[in-house]
């Protein structure tokens, strides 16, 4: 009898029980994903309703904006969908004593939950691919609608993966980097033009910082181009011919969500080659790798609390504890990313500390549940 029970404990994958659990999990997962995404979009709508009303944007424009935002919204809530799905799927089995019946056959709780855990890794892989394919394209389109059609900002800048180009009064301005945290422009080149658009001078400005009266520069070098093609160097004090404020440039700048992992990697390499600080973007790069793993983490955390009713009879308490842990992950993640952006934490720690901590918590509860 003991041998039979031990043999059943190591039940091969893909049997009737696994298919039953997987089907129940996936059914609840897609329902949860639709409901939570709808709630997220609703909250996002009311968060932006002031801007939408102030801009008097047409209804169709608003609808298009939120449609293009949908892939990012799904990406942000997919971890909560796996959390809810695990809680409801296993919680329902526990309430109807199906878990008790299965365990009486010698199958452990860990083996019961194994198909759901494996599915969560498939969700993790799908999330990474989703973030690398649909999210950057759709989010870039959504931001274009928001900036040009809702905020009514003209596309004066041509944004690559690193440089910013702005058209000024009788000139073109190239900015290597805009630091939105300190409202600072770095490595600025002003191309001054004649009326026929031929180049008459170059002005190189190492840094410009926003102040109460506009953009302030400490020093600048002007290269005047003479008629014979020679260039004459002058040390000058010039005001930066940019009318855009930091708020305008933030609208023109691309968010990390608009980059794929490899695009962001390329931008970091380009910035490093120019001697720029890349800490901010390196933290975002690590976060792009770490966040898809939230699905397996939420499953690990949810399993013991979903089944805790067998011991305590209080499923609402278990559900509440799991929700606190779920939101706790996001709070800790946001806190670590903020510290990483500020340089208070090493780049890899800022991206991976939340996953490491919650993996340890999840593995402990998952292996301890009886």
| Strand intervals (E) in the chain | 157-159, 164-168, 171-179, 184-193, 199-211, 214-217, 220-225, 231-236
Task: Check if the beta carbon of residue 154 is closer than 8 Å to that of residue 148.
Answer: yes
257-281 pLDDT, tens digit per residue, is: 778 888 888 878 877 776 667 888 8
Q: At what angle do helices 315-341 and 59-95 cross, to 10 degrees?
A: 130
280-336 pLDDT, tens digit per residue, is: 889 999 999 999 999 999 998 888 877 765 444 455 665 676 678 778 888 999 999
CB count, 10 Å around CB of 369?
Answer: 18
Per-residue pLDDT, 296: 93
What percent of the chain lies above the pLDDT cut of 90? 26
CB count, 10 Å around CB of 155?
Answer: 10
- What's the rounded Cα separation, in Å, for the pair 187 and 176? 5
Task: Check if the beta carbon of residue 136 is closer than 8 Å to that of residue 259.
Answer: yes
What percent of the chain lies above the pLDDT cut of 70? 87
Q: Residue ranges of the domains in the chain?
A: 2-152+282-368, 161-247
pTM metric for this prediction: 0.74
- What's the rounded Cα separation, in Å, for the pair 221 and 205? 7
Give me the mean pLDDT over the 244-261 stretch: 74
111-165 pLDDT, tens digit per residue, is: 888 899 999 999 999 999 999 999 999 988 888 888 788 877 655 444 433 567 7
């Amino acid at each position: 009898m003991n041998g039979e029970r031990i043999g059943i404990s190591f039940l091969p994958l893909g049997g009737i029980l696994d298919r039953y659990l997987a089907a129940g999990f996936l059914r609840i997962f897609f329902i949860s994903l639709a409901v939570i995404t709808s709630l997220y979009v609703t909250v996002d709508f009311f968060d932006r309703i002031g801007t939408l009303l102030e801009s008097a944007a047409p209804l169709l424009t608003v609808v298009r904006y939120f449609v293009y935002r949908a892939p990012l919204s799904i990406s942000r809530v997919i971890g909560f969908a796996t959390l809810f799905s695990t809680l409801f799927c296993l919680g329902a089995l526990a309430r109807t004593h199906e878990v008790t019946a299965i365990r009486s056959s010698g199958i452990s709780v860990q083996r019961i939950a194994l198909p759901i855990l494996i599915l969560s890794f498939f969700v993790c892989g799908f999330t990474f691919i989703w973030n690398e394919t649909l999210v950057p394209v759709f989010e870039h389109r959504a931001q274009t609608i928001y900036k040009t059609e809702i905020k009514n900002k003209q596309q004066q800048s041509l944004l690559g993966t690193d440089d910013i180009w702005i058209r000024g009064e009788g000139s073109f301005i190239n900015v290597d980097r805009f630091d939105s945290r300190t409202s600072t422009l770095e490595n600025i080149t002003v191309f001054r033009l004649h009326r026929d658009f031929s180049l008459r001078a170059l002005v190189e400005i190492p840094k410009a910082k926003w102040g109460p009266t506009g953009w302030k520069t400490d020093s600048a070098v002007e290269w005047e181009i003479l008629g014979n093609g020679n260039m004459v160097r002058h040390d000058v004090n010039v005001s930066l011919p940019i009318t855009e404020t930091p708020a305008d440039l933030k609208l023109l700048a691309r968010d990390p969500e608009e980059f794929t992992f490899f695009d962001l990697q390329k931008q970091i390499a380009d910035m490093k080659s120019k001697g720029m600080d890349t800490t901010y973007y390196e933290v975002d790069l690590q976060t792009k790798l770490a966040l898809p793993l939230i699905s397996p983490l939420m499953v690990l955390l949810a399993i013991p609390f979903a089944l805790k009713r067998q011991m305590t009879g209080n499923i609402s308490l278990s559900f509440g504890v799991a929700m606190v842990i779920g939101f706790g992950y996001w709070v800790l993640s946001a806190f670590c990313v903020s510290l990483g952006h500020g340089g208070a934490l090493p780049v890899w720690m800022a991206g991976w500390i939340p996953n490491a901590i919650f993996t340890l918590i999840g593995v402990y509860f998952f292996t301890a549940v009886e």
